[in-house]
Chains A and B, each alone.
Chain A
Amino acid sequence: MLLVNRVLGHRLDDGFAEQLHHLEHHGEVEWLLLPAAELARRRFRAVTSRGAEVAVALPRDEPLTDGAVLLFEPNRAIVVKVDAERWLRITPHDLATALELGYHVGNLHWRVRFAAGSIDVALEGPEEAYLARLASLGLDSRVEAHAHPADEAPC
């Protein structure tokens, strides 16, 4: 198992971009695919796209971002790729439902963003679990709900 204790830089940095491009053409770049919600962890285990096990132990103030270069050798590199965060957009049918929905979403401590007439809930588990919770609250017939990736979500 390879232990990573610092971020070497970003894949677009001058010192890396050209050489990473070259390595990628030779299939020598391994990707560490991480969910967006997991990026705040400073210590974790993960497996690269080529099956290598990596133990990450970063200083607490070292940010981990999409494109972070964790290993850079003449014939091998490991780069972080962040899985797009998914959101559940919930649109209530009427104002009374919107108030009720807002109460429950707050009570459940779901992470949200607001959109015109809708609320976006960050999916930190299976979409089905969120839909089941809405159903258990009797909201499923009074809202429209569908998941979408982060780039479609308003800030």
Chain B
Amino acid sequence: MNMIDNQRAKEATGHAVAARVGIGGPVGSGKTALIEALIPVLHARGVDLAVVTNDLVTKEDAERLRRSGLIDPQRVAAVEAGACPHTVIREDPTLNIAAGDELEARFPGVELILFESGGDNLASTFSLDLVDWWIFVIDVAGGDDIPRKKGPGTLRCDLLVINKQDLAPHVGVDLPRMLEEARSVRAQRPVILTDARRGDGVGDVADQIMKAVLFR
């Protein structure tokens, strides 16, 4: 493959070239846990990355990641939405774009920036002005009827992650049926089951990111 080097491309063009991936989903579905699980997997694959988190009026998720020891705290930027989280990832993503640009300026070799949305509802989607590709995270404890509700987040994302698969038997969820319905409403576009806390399925999510926007 005729592959470019990120740093050389940036020097040649003077513009940002890192891939940008969004991770959205309802409150408590496991977005931060998924990022915590993805970071070591992506690092092990040699991916130079940074993270932008979004919270309503705090920097809670950013502080959690900075304290995690998983990533250089300087590589985690926080955006305070101050309003419904989708407003800063879709209607006006300026704050997030600026946060991404600043991370790329401070870390010239960065090739992937993960943007974590604040917890939102099933209508939440990312602007493609902000990200190249995006993941929507739901969880089994939120109810196995979520795919059937056909929320825009569930339908339009590039990858749907159904997290906390280990909880299915404890919350009365028919996991195979939930997975089948999710694939059906998404016209067979990718759906991955995960248990982010134990790392199950996280490698598959990393595979999808690598293939879709890092081309390897």
Contact = CB atoms under 8 A, between A and B. Distances in A.
Nearest to A60: B16
Interface stretch (A15-23, A84-92, A123-131): A123-131
Q: Give the size range of A's interface with the partner.
A: 20 to 34
Interface in B125-151: 125, 127-129, 132-133, 150
A2 interface: yes
A1 interface: yes
B3 interface: yes
Nearest to B130: A40
B17 A129 contact: no
Contacts of B187: 126
A108 B212 CA distance: 28
Interface string B171-200: 000000000000000010000000000000
Contacts of B127: 40
B133 A43 contact: yes
Given A40-B127, A107-B123, A126-B187, A5 B4 contact: yes
Interface string B190-216: 000000000000000000000111010
B133 A6 contact: no
A3 interface: yes
A144 interface: no
B1 A1 contact: yes
A-side binding surface: helix, strand, loop or mixed?
Answer: loop
Contacts of B155: 125, 129
Interface residues of B, number: 31
Nearest to A57: B17
A42 B1 contact: no
Interface string A48-90: 0000000101111110000000000000000000000000000
B19 to A, nearest CB: 5
A1 B125 CA distance: 30
B70 interface: no
Given A38-B128, A41-B132, A129-B155, A57 B4 contact: yes
Contacts of A41: 128, 132-133
18 contacts: A1-B215, A3-B2, A6-B13, A41-B128, A41-B132, A42-B132, A43-B19, A43-B213, A45-B211, A45-B215, A55-B215, A57-B17, A60-B17, A107-B123, A109-B125, A124-B156, A129-B155, A132-B150
Interface of B: 1-4, 9, 13, 15-17, 19-20, 86, 90, 97, 101, 123, 125, 127-129, 132-133, 150, 152, 155-156, 187, 211-213, 215
